[in-house]
Structure 1
Amino acid sequence: MPGRTAARQAQPAPGEAWMARRGWQPFAFQREVWQAIAEGRSGLLHATTGSGKTYAVWLGMLDALLARHPPGRGAEPLRAIWLTPMRALASDTAKALAQPLNELAPAWTLGLRTGDTPSAERARQDRRMPTVLVTTPESLTLMLTRENAREDLSQVEFVVVDEWHELIGSKRGVQAQLAIARLWQFNPALVAWGLSATLGNLEQAMEVLCHPGAEGKAPALVQGRIDKTLLIDTLIPPDPGKYSWAGHLGARMQQPVVEEIAKSGTTLVFTNVRSQAEIWYQLLLEAKPEWAGHIALHHGSLDRATREWVEQGLKQGTLRAVVATSSLDLGVDFLPVERVLQIGSAKGVARMMQRAGRSGHAPGRPSRVTLVPTNTMELVEAAAARWAAKTGRVEKRTSPEKPLDVLVQHIVTVALGGGFAPDAFYAEVTSAYAYRNLTRAEFDWAVTFCERGGESLGAYPEYHRIVHGEDGMYTVQDKGVAKRHRLGVGTIVSDAAIQVKFLTGAVIGTMEEGFIARLRAGDHFFFAGRLLEFVRVRDMAAYVRKATKNKGTVPTWQGSKMALSTELSDAVLEMMQNAAHGEFAEPELLAARPMLQTQQRLSKIPTPRTLLVESYRSREGQHLYVYPFAGRNVHLGLASLLAWRLARLQPNTFSMSINDYGFELVGAAPFDIAPVTSQALFTGDDLLHDVLASLNSTELAQRRFREIARVAGLITPGYPGQPKSAKQLQASSALFFEVFRKYDAGNLLLNQAEQEVLSQELELSRLSETLARMRARAVDFAELRHPSPMSLPLMVERFREKLTTEQLSERLDRILRAMEKEEA
């Protein structure tokens, strides 16, 4: 008998046996996850992209489910939910999960539920939920709005959040937190796991996702360590030069990029913004017309069918190259991809590593990313990014702090999904990490706002969304409120999209309404890899025809400027310090050497312990350059703050420009720079007051309020086939903003708008930290005879606002000739 028991114990679990039949050997971290799940513990798995995270968690959960519910003839009810941040990722994940499920429990079912799921499939799921459901945070929240939500979801035993690093820092992540808190309320024994590849604060990320611990079981943090080679190199420009500004080297890198693609297998070419993706797609076709049909474009504005065709081509290896934005950042499995090229700086270590992982997406295969600089400073950034990745300096991601618009939406969601009792629901909400500091007064305000519309909307029945019944439960009684709420569930808010169509009616994709509104009939622009001529707007569609002229204006979408992360900024300063000491060991620093030596000769090179301040006089006035290396968002706040403080000391009018390395102030009249060089203006005293005074904070808050009003359900995007325009939404939100300011000054959504402007747009906490760091550094002051290599890009940023491309080129030619003449 003992011998038989020992033999039975020695048999591998079903999941491991399934792997063995494929000739796969589990990694140590996979076994660690299986053990933790068997013990009923939640956790976070952090491992390299393509290392086997999905099967580490899924096979562990499948083993546990098979042990508890031996497979019979029929399907089990919904037992596991797998959350993904992207629809395309959901489809790939479902295929991966189905392989062992079909073999080990053929009677169990697996379903996919996203915004793309056909209504017939949704109806089938509504009648009987699958055993395993792959879905998104929005679709899970919609499931919580159903009256029988508790009945459908109370038997869920496992929930997984894939690509947790992508969700944790956003309101979508908060939405996921609240949904999981609801599932925990339905089933206190629920086990939750997060998967991530690029996070710098693992303990906190685990705490955000995992419940304090069902039955006192501490969550498990598992770090997958496998021999996964990450290669980071740089495509060195033939002649970077002494002076360079944003985009200066871009088109010059066309031929080197083409050559790299030609000698590689399937290649992903990443850009940071859609307009840049359009430009590079055109550059590749211009250099290699014969590649038409073998290279493609992929970004979020393109038609869904086009994107799916591109993704299929990548999976099958039929495409030579795809130019993409962050739309292909996440873990869709493209095995044929051999190379990743990053045009310009990735602006963050995590983003660069995430994109590198798109190549060699399988255990044991190396991942390679080649950085393609578009200016000389990006050569320094490339060396810094490699050093930061090698030393593990990856960005942290933190959860938003109690966003009340998401809470207001969730209150109506739960009221729809069976209702809630206030005391129990407050305990449930505060079990979600984002709301751990939510006061009862704030919670009660949010409930009252949903019930009566606050102090100013009481007379309007459509804002009485929930009703307090005699049984003490809050529910939704109005069918119109229910319909509007379900249509508006979600936290993704962007500029209203408008369809782009040919005159024949064929849809090409969508673009922001703000861009289309600036076009006149006959204007030309590049979109979806084509040169198009704008004809007219009718019925929420922009009609275009193929253009015959070889001239176009490349569309500029919102969000085109990513800020450099703190970790990468610090790494750049480390590289600059090496250069200041005459050390050019990295190939990128060697290529940037002419620029760095010219900077040292004309001015100084900034380092981690010094703050470079430059002054220059021209016909425009007095120029002041400061280089904190804190990213463009912080520099916007700093430039405005210092200009305001300088003008308070001595009346003056300042113009400004910013980039990721520093900022420029130009005074119409001469001004005393001693308060800057003495660091007197870097004080953190009265910082909030001074920042608000230096900016049009009311205008910024009103713009931010539009997003909050949309998430909180005050304004809706309209009904299917009857969408509201951006102008209508903006007018509606502006009206609410003014009404609340005048008649409901204590409205917490107004406070949230101001706080989000300070924390997200101006990064007030980071601004405060930057001021402290500036005070701690020694000021290196340089009086310039003519612009330095670091100041010239800031001048170019300002010139671009008021000069045509041709005028800008002429102006720069004159400046550069004058510099070279003086240097000679």
Structure 2
Amino acid sequence: MDHRDTTPSLLPPNVAGWFRSRGWAPHAHQLAMVQAAAEGVSALLIAPTGGGKTLAGFLPSLIELSERPREGLHTLYISPLKALAVDIQRNLEHPVAEMRLPIRTETRTGDTPEAKRRRQRAHPPQILMTTPESLALLLSYADAGSIFGTLRCVIVDELHALAGTKRGDLLALGLARLARLAPAARRVGLSATVAEPDQLVAWLSRTGTTDGGDVRLVQGRAGADPVIDILTTRERLPWAGHMALHALKEVYARIREHRTTLLFVNTRAQAELVFQALWRINDENLPIALHHGSLAVEQRRKVEAAMARGDLRAVVATSSLDLGIDWAAVDLVVQIGAPKGASRLVQRIGRANHRMDEPSRALLVPANRFEVLECRAALDAVRAHTLDGERPRPGGLDVLAQHILGMACAAPFLPDELYDEIVCAAPYAGLSRDEFDDVLDFVATGGYALGSYERFHRLKTREDGRMAAAGPMVARQYRLNVGTIVQEAMLRVRLNRGPVLGEVEEYFIQGLTPGDSFVFAGQLLKFLGVREMEAMVAKGGEGDPQVPAYAGGRLPLSTHLAERVRAILHDPDTWPGLPEDVQEWLRLQRWRSVLPPTDGLLVETFPRNGKRFLVVYAFEGRNAHQTLGMLLTRRMERMGAAPLGFVATDYVLAVWSLRTPSDLDALFDRDMLGDDLEAWMDESSMLRRTFRNVAIIAGVIDRRHPGQEKTGRQVTFSSDLIYDVLRKHDPGHILLRATRADAAGGLTDIRRLSDFLARIEGRILHKDLDRISPLAVPVILEIGREQVYGSATDELLEQATAELVAEAMPELVPRGDGQGRLL
């Protein structure tokens, strides 16, 4: 609810005077948050960027501390990003100083010096900014009760970005413990606009349910609608590819026209390539910077500071700048490549302008023809004010195991009391007592298969029935390894006898030989070799450089946008406004074959180069398509179709074989998610990789020991040994259950695949063609194409495009650029 009738009389004179001195008037939602606090009610504020959400969250605390000054921790602010915590602390210092409030504000993150951390535990500031990991660490100390006993408010910023993630699971468990240590503390959630606000209300509630009645929903007034354009390039629009390098001259022209431009891309590899390409055409030497999560923290902070000063004309960034940090100087946001989700696009657009009463400006730059449709779908979704919404998933059992161990490090506990506390956290509201007992037994003994190993005995039961950490070394290891962020094994990249530039994944470096060149941190580098945990490099290099591709880098296409893409494809009345070559592509598809239906599935089959191709227009995202491809090839093998391989994009799946399956209804039967799925998951290396992450989070495998850190090879070797032991001797072990749940929800997207198979049952439209169709050209171009390095590969891709277009559409006269015109 939005308390629009609330008056500024809620503000004490010094706070009201501060607003007047700034020429501001408080927003209705800011006053509503003050009213909720006055009534002692927790609140969830949902408001667009630029609406003063952060100030609304802190305002009640500033008022209370102004009227009743006191020592001890009063307000705990939790952010998903260390940089955001630092930024908020810096911004909060201004009103605190200008109102002359007796308040200390500090940050505590992984970058905080040890001496400062010790002092904060003994003498906490009134307002502390931290992260979910640092909160978990603080809660594991024996003095957690004295640290948090004075707490009166917990603010969770960017709640939509945490809920539904393992970091959010860990934080929800931490809040449940804070409710016991500080029962008088209110909870405040700050979120961008979301599709299902009730889910966030439940997450914030002390009951973990939507009907708890202890959280007031405050809706901020909608800001001005953004002005969004889709770039209609003068250059050739590619049929395939994801980098959008063809359009960067036109993007550069937009950068020149604006004061500061924020360019978002979807992967770190794309960020490096786009940054390099922009510098090659930057004839005016405009200050353009690069920002992504693998760069050295010093480099990222340098870029952030330059942005804050207004020194940069453009920054190429990944999701590392999706959240929170706002620069009023940004007057254009450019999304390079399709956004993959309407909510993500709204979040990114919100980084521009940062004023509710003025529209943000954004430019979408599709990288290929299907991405034109996705960009149009995203634009329509934003204009219709509809967002992506996914069903909440149960909390991770590996995260629960970590939390139980952390609570044992803090103080002995009774299992009954701890269980009652944990089910008050929304992700674990449905946790059964049996499942809790299984996790508890695993933390205590390692479970049946691991119980004979002393190192897995981490809890001991005392005579009074309470369980405690088995010894000081258990607590020490927990605190060294706390957290749920598990990266692939990384190596620092150090300029020879110079600074560290950032980190790349170990497997990428293992594929290089000394003398190879690669692009990183916006520079062309020559690989010299590996020394300890560092990749040594020099500036320069020869030949076509490689670009590090990071695991999990690609974002999945949202269900909401997939539905809108299918609707655009199916309805020619929506085509006006699309580029003419895209309209021509769709018209030829309708003439040569048929357009994909909105409520069923189009499957095309055709011969090519002595093989039979089966093309599935599913539009369910790359992860679901990868899983579907694996399952279809297993089933086709049994049908005698002799499958040879498959390729998946966000939109389409293509399988090639020696023969076409005769019964498509049987091929796509939902029972593939039974034995076929089980057999494939047991055989695949994916489960091993997933198990490794689960084992690290659950504390079975330590990433760090005092004074040393394991290499990626050591961690993988340890996890593989444990995985094999459990599969053989204890297949129902809690770690294997957690691994399967993770695999089903993430890499394989089983729930989405299940919904897809149910939706298409009895609705498969099969077109058996004599040649490739126009709509199939982009996915066939992806076959064997992992990365694009250098201009020679681009030329080969253009040749392949021209050949496929001529094959699919002989009615076109080739123009030598892979496009053509109708006869």
Corresponding residue of 1:403: 396
Corresponding residue of 2:488: 495
Corresponding residue of 1:783: 768
Contact 2:66 2:102 in 1 (8 A): no
Match status 1:258 vs 2:252: yes
Instruction: Flag the 1:77–1:355 CA change in 2: closer, same or farther, 3 A.
Output: same
* Aligned mates of 1:443, 1:10 — CA distance in 2: 45
* Aligned mates of 1:638, 1:533 — CA distance in 2: 39
* Aligned mates of 1:662, 1:670 — CA distance in 2: 20
Aligned structure 1 segments of 4 or more residues deviating by more than 6 angstroms = 7-11, 213-216
* Aligned mates of 1:228, 1:801 — CA distance in 2: 41
Which residue of the other structure, out of 83, 104, 107, is the alignment partner of 2:102?
107
CA RMSD of aligned residues (A): 2.4
* Aligned mates of 1:223, 1:694 — CA distance in 2: 46
Matches within 5 A, 1:342-353: 342-353=335-346
Cα deviation digits, residues 237-287 of structure 1 (max 9, x gap) = 11555x71124x822212101111111111111110111111111111111
Match status 1:816 vs 2:805: yes
Corresponding residue of 2:19: 19
- Whichever residue aligns with residue 531 of structure 1, its letter is L
How far 1:515 moved relative to its partner? 0.6
Contact 2:517 2:545 in 1 (8 A): yes
Corresponding residue of 2:372: 379
- Whichever residue aligns with residue 495 of structure 2, its letter is F
* Aligned mates of 1:278, 1:593 — CA distance in 2: 32
* Aligned mates of 1:104, 1:464 — CA distance in 2: 54
- Whichever residue aligns with residue 128 of structure 1, its letter is H
Instruction: Flag the 1:20–1:426 CA change in 2: closer, same or farther, 3 A.
Output: same
* Aligned mates of 1:234, 1:459 — CA distance in 2: 62
Contact 2:596 2:602 in 1 (8 A): yes
Instruction: Flag the 1:697–1:434 CA change in 2: closer, same or farther, 3 A.
Output: farther
Contact 2:136 2:482 in 1 (8 A): yes
Instruction: Flag the 1:46–1:611 CA change in 2: closer, same or farther, 3 A.
Output: same
Matches within 5 A, 1:739-754: 739-754=725-740
Corresponding residue of 1:279: 273
Which residue of the other structure, out of 747, 756, 769, is the alignment partner of 2:755?
769
Corresponding residue of 2:816: none
* Aligned mates of 1:617, 1:138 — CA distance in 2: 54
- Whichever residue aligns with residue 93 of structure 2, its letter is A
Contact 1:14 1:63 in 2 (8 A): no
Contact 1:412 1:476 in 2 (8 A): yes
* Range with bigger deviation, 366-375 or 594-603: 594-603
Contact 1:628 1:774 in 2 (8 A): no
Corresponding residue of 1:48: 48
Corresponding residue of 1:453: 446
Which residue of the other structure, out of 643, 660, 671, is the alignment partner of 1:671?
660
> Is the partner of 2:228 in helix, strand or coil?
strand
Match status 1:584 vs 2:578: no
* Aligned mates of 2:333, 2:509 — CA distance in 1: 32
Matches within 5 A, 1:529-678: 529-549=522-542, 551-579=544-572, 581=573, 583-585=574-576, 587-588=577-578, 590=580, 592-650=582-640, 652-667=642-657, 669-673=658-662, 675-676=663-664
Contact 1:615 1:784 in 2 (8 A): yes
> Is the partner of 1:438 in helix, strand or coil?
coil
* Range with bigger deviation, 131-140 or 765-774: 765-774
* Aligned mates of 1:522, 1:163 — CA distance in 2: 44
Matches within 5 A, 1:415-430: 415-430=408-423
* Aligned mates of 1:740, 1:605 — CA distance in 2: 48
Cα deviation digits, residues 278-304 of structure 1 (max 9, x gap) = 111111111114426x11111111111
- Whichever residue aligns with residue 272 of structure 2, its letter is E
How many residue pairs get aligned? The number is 802
Instruction: Flag the 1:8–1:741 CA change in 2: closer, same or farther, 3 A.
Output: closer
Which residue of the other structure, out of 361, 364, 376, is the alignment partner of 2:357?
364
Corresponding residue of 1:83: 78
Corresponding residue of 2:743: 757
* Aligned mates of 2:391, 2:480 — CA distance in 1: 29
Instruction: Flag the 1:772–1:397 CA change in 2: closer, same or farther, 3 A.
Output: closer
Corresponding residue of 1:224: 220
Instruction: Flag the 1:240–1:775 CA change in 2: closer, same or farther, 3 A.
Output: farther
* Range with bigger deviation, 397-406 or 258-267: 397-406
How far 1:126 moved relative to its partner? 2.2
How far 1:654 moved relative to its partner? 3.5
> Is the partner of 1:798 in helix, strand or coil?
coil
- Whichever residue aligns with residue 813 of structure 1, its letter is A
* Range with bigger deviation, 362-371 or 322-331: 362-371
Which residue of the other structure, out of 288, 293, 311, is the alignment partner of 2:304?
311
Corresponding residue of 2:28: 28
Contact 1:148 1:418 in 2 (8 A): no
Contact 2:29 2:218 in 1 (8 A): yes
Match status 1:155 vs 2:150: yes
- Whichever residue aligns with residue 505 of structure 1, its letter is G
Cα deviation digits, residues 107-159 of structure 1 (max 9, x gap) = 22111000111223212212201111100000001001111111111221111
Contact 2:516 2:541 in 1 (8 A): no
Which residue of the other structure, out of 435, 441, 460, is the alignment partner of 2:428?
435
* Aligned mates of 2:778, 2:11 — CA distance in 1: 66
* Aligned mates of 1:695, 1:753 — CA distance in 2: 11
* Aligned mates of 1:540, 1:39 — CA distance in 2: 54
Which residue of the other structure, out of 230, 233, 236, is the alignment partner of 2:229?
233
Instruction: Flag the 1:399–1:818 CA change in 2: closer, same or farther, 3 A.
Output: closer
Contact 1:625 1:791 in 2 (8 A): yes
Contact 2:223 2:358 in 1 (8 A): no
* Range with bigger deviation, 490-499 or 640-649: 640-649
Corresponding residue of 1:4: none
How far 1:809 moved relative to its partner? 4.5
* Aligned mates of 2:649, 2:8 — CA distance in 1: 65
* Aligned mates of 2:753, 2:16 — CA distance in 1: 51
* Range with bigger deviation, 518-527 or 42-51: 42-51
Corresponding residue of 2:137: 142
Contact 1:297 1:323 in 2 (8 A): yes
* Aligned mates of 2:723, 2:680 — CA distance in 1: 21
* Aligned mates of 1:653, 1:109 — CA distance in 2: 66
Cα deviation digits, residues 757-777 of structure 1 (max 9, x gap) = 122221111111101221264
* Aligned mates of 2:111, 2:771 — CA distance in 1: 57
Which residue of the other structure, out of 509, 513, 524, is the alignment partner of 1:520?
513
- Whichever residue aligns with residue 781 of structure 1, its letter is H
> Is the partner of 2:77 in helix, strand or coil?
strand
Contact 2:457 2:470 in 1 (8 A): no
* Aligned mates of 2:226, 2:450 — CA distance in 1: 56
> Is the partner of 1:636 in helix, strand or coil?
helix
Contact 1:401 1:435 in 2 (8 A): yes
Structure 1: gaps of 5 or more residues: 1-6
Cα deviation digits, residues 487-532 of structure 1 (max 9, x gap) = 1000000101111011113211111111111110111100111111
Cα deviation digits, residues 593-625 of structure 1 (max 9, x gap) = 122222222222224134222111012411111
* Aligned mates of 1:681, 1:549 — CA distance in 2: 49
* Aligned mates of 2:8, 2:280 — CA distance in 1: 66
> Is the partner of 1:561 in helix, strand or coil?
coil
* Aligned mates of 2:426, 2:203 — CA distance in 1: 5
Corresponding residue of 1:3: none
* Aligned mates of 1:776, 1:748 — CA distance in 2: 38
Cα deviation digits, residues 616-675 of structure 1 (max 9, x gap) = 1012411111112111111122222233333323352341111111211111x22244x2
Structure 2: gaps of 5 or more residues: 1-6, 813-822
TM-score, normalising length: structure 1: 0.93
Match status 1:719 vs 2:694: no
